[in-house]
A and B are shown apart, each in its own frame.
Chain A
């Protein structure tokens, strides 16, 4: 009975456009999409370079990137907290408990995923694509853009995967964001903390939004991977 009531209340919040609820959704999307937008050019470039260049220490970096994949986000949050806290190295920037801090955390969390997925997409590309661009006189940047365009579905899969990871990440957002209403309260932190205060309906409503997003991202990812294979 309680569950039915809560679900009903959750749907009502969603359909009626509850301001507090959609504010939380907006904060989540804003932070995660900005983080992705800011880190992806750098991470994709890094993935491309790791796939195409041979230099001493390359192997170690690749292994390191893959290890970061499994790095607990709450530990990322902890390290970032220590750096941003008043006594920390970057304490003077006063970034702790801000959207910027959350964004930085999500950039750190997304980077290894973007790098590793781009790396494998570029490595899987036909080497003749890159060679053809080179012999036709393309410079380094043009060659890179050409190869990345040919593996665009793999790059898209990287972006979807990175987004899926940061949008639902709770540990780091909580540590450096602090779940401040209207500012750093995003979907995962709201669900984790507000529910314990009895806000069941809001928790369920946000859970539904998060699940729809996750499912959407997953569909998009399998579509991108399927399209990439057909493309071969």
Chain B
């Protein structure tokens, strides 16, 4: 029953998407250097709306760096970057782009307030009304199945629980592009399964995902596109 409702909304969202730009992110000549070392040199990156991309590659390939640059956390140069049809200047990272992105650290940190306070953080920052904050936070908590964690001290959560709270925290803001850095690395059996389910749910909602990862579990997702990075370069154009 619940599934059917979900599917219906997915279908309508997908149809909605047809009227929008097919390509969500289009980027050429993305470079980032630290000192004299070039740690990112991506000739071309194109992400289509509603798809899930796995960013694979060995340690130090530049996966984290690429996600951080897209999230506006690290400086980089870029020949051209378009996001949702708009030209973006990375040196002057626009705030409206930030609110459309959901970046989650490899090991997410929690604010020491409460799990609920973490979920509501972005909603409050967006200046929503108190009822709206409460409503969307409750929806995000239910979505992630973390009702039982809501009253636990955030620092005491396990790695898997933190990852789920972090996903709920960005899901509450409903971004169109999720940037997830190794979300299932170092997670135990059940934690890994639950996090994977949440990622599948995000994909089912028609959102775009770019997931840095080097485990096979997420490859079971439908229609994932695999990107491969090595020494800061993207191996093959998608």
Name A residues whose Cβ lies closer than 8 Å to a Cβ of B: 126, 128-129, 131-139, 142, 146, 149-150, 231
Contact = CB atoms under 8 A, between A and B. Distances in A.
Interface residues of B, number: 24
Nearest to B99: A137
Given A131-B73, A142-B125, A136 B109 contact: no
Contact of A134 (B98, B108, B112, B169): B98
A138 B121 contact: yes
B103 interface: yes
A132 B111 CA distance: 9
Chief secondary structure at chain A's binding surface: helix
A137 B109 contact: no
Contacts of A146: 111, 121
A135 B98 contact: yes
Interface in B85-125: 95, 98-99, 101-103, 105, 107-109, 111-113, 121-122, 125
Chief secondary structure at chain B's binding surface: loop
B139 to A, nearest CB: 17
A128 B108 CA distance: 8
B170 interface: yes
Given A135-B72, A135-B73, A135-B101, 20 more contacts: A128-B107, A129-B109, A131-B73, A131-B105, A133-B111, A133-B121, A133-B125, A134-B98, A136-B125, A136-B170, A136-B173, A137-B98, A137-B125, A137-B173, A139-B125, A146-B121, A149-B111, A150-B111, A150-B112, A231-B155
A126 B105 CA distance: 12
